[in-house]
Amino acid sequence: MTLIASLPVATEELAGALVEALGASEELDFPTAATTEQPDKSWVVDIYFEEQPDEATLARLVRDVMGDATPPILVAPLPDEDWVAKSLEGLKPVRAGRFMVHGSHDRSKVQPDDVAIEIEAGEAFGTGHHGTTAGCLAEIDRLCSAREFGSILDLGTGTGVLAIAIAKAFGKRVLATDIDPVATRVTHENAVLNGVGALIDAETAEGFGNPVFAAHAPFDLIIANILAGPLIALAGDIVRHLAPDGVVVLSGLLTAQGPAVIAAYEAEGLRLERSGEMEGWLTLTLSR
């Protein structure tokens, strides 16, 4: 049975930050969350669960984002209706660089110049609505337009959105890995749906703990949209698997976490080339 918690939120920014934080939460198994604007211009964040969540953890995660504005949280069974279709109504297409990420309900909105990526909101993270995904898409467009990359890794691929973007726009092969087998299955399905199944190798792996990395390394481009903690923990492995003139794009970190993540990669011999911010989330580009 699907459960729902509906939280009133004052602003679009806060609603977005809450969706991002919850969507990135391993503790709650990356719940699906959707925002809807109300007639009075306030927002509601609906969080969906397939099993009863740990309510103390949920309350803590919400409080981390909303502080004293945290409303009472009630997790209740969802009324019997097509909630996926309903929640998708609020998911408008997202544009970043030349990419447009959309659900099947918005196919008609694709413009001739768009590189369209069709992704349904569902079991894995990455519909383009998160500032980290959009930041990575914009940086992918910029980097891959300026330079040829041979071997490419999308670490923490979620829905596969970033790997699909690279394969569709630049015809490149991408190794797409995720700790979550559901994400790698969804990535494979999305790659086929988007016509780039042959270009994407989706593998389940925690960090670099899979022989598939040795077969593809060194990488000319590594993109990792995970979270600050894992990004710091993986700094050594990421840099060891990078080609001498390779580029790393990191996202999933809040602005305040930037200095710690940059320091971890500087300690491995990289330097910051570029830093972009979207909705309070940073996307960092580093090289040797």
Ligand X SMILES: C[S@@+](CC[C@H](N)C(=O)[O-])C[C@H]1O[C@@H](n2cnc3c(N)ncnc32)[C@H](O)[C@@H]1O
Output the known binding site.
133, 156, 178, 225
Confirm or reject binding of residue 180 to ligand X (CB under 6 A): yes
Using left for φ > 0, alpha for ψ between -120 and 50, and beta otherwise, residue 132 falls in: alpha
Q: Which stretch binds ligand X (CB under 6 A): 71-79, 149-157, 212-220, 264-272?
A: 149-157
| Amino acid symbol at 82 | D
Q: Which range touches ligand X (CB under 6 A), out of 50-58, 85-93, 175-183, 258-266?
A: 175-183
Handedness of CA 77, 81, 87, 90 (dihedral sign): negative
Q: How far is the CB of 214 from ligand X (least distance, A)?
A: 16
Annotated binding site for S-adenosyl-L-methionine: 133, 156, 178, 225
* Nearest one of 135, 193, 192 to 162, comparing CA atoms: 135
Report the C-alpha gap between 136 and 131 in whole angstroms.
Answer: 8
Per-residue binding string, ligand X, 196-215, x by CB under 6 A, is: ----------xx--------
Rounded Cα–Cα distance for residues 251 and 282 (Å): 6
Query: Are 84 and 122 within 8 A, CB to CB?
Result: yes
Site for ligand X, residues 104 to 133, rule: CB under 6 A: 124-126, 132-133
Q: Which is nearer to ligand X, 15 or 175 (CB)?
A: 175
Question: Residue 178 interacts with ligand X (CB under 6 A)?
Answer: yes
Stretch that binds ligand X, among 9-17, 74-82, 150-158, 269-277 (CB under 6 A): 150-158
Asked if 136 interacts with ligand X (CB under 6 A), we say: yes
Q: Does 17 bind ligand X (CB under 6 A)?
A: no
Show the binding pattern over residues 47-66: x = contacts ligand X (CB under 6 A), - = does not: --------------------
Return all residues near 283 (Cβ < 8 A) that are at least 6 apart: 132, 135, 136, 138, 139, 249, 250, 251, 275, 276, 277
Instruction: Give the three-class secondary structure for 255.
Output: helix
Distance CA 2, CA 209 (A): 34
Our finding on whether 103 is near ligand X (CB under 6 A) is no
CB of 115 to ligand X, least distance (A): 16
The H or E element that residue 113 is part of is none
Among 101, 119, 161, 175, the residue binding ligand X under the rule CB under 6 A is 161
Q: Which distant-in-sequence residues (6+ apart) come within 8 Å of 240 by Cβ? A: none
Choices 65-73, 112-120, 172-180, 253-261; region in contact with ligand X by CB under 6 A: 172-180
Q: Are strands 99-102 and 115-118 parallel, antiparallel or unpaired?
A: parallel
Both tokens assigned to 29: 């198994």
Residue 134 CB, nearest distance to ligand X (Å)? Answer: 9
By CB under 6 A, how many residues form the interface with ligand X? 24
The distance of closest approach from Cβ of residue 64 to ligand X in the complex, given in angstroms and rounded to an integer, is 16
Q: Which residues bind ligand X (CB under 6 A)?
A: 24, 124-126, 132-133, 136, 155-158, 161-162, 177-180, 183, 206-207, 225-226, 230, 252
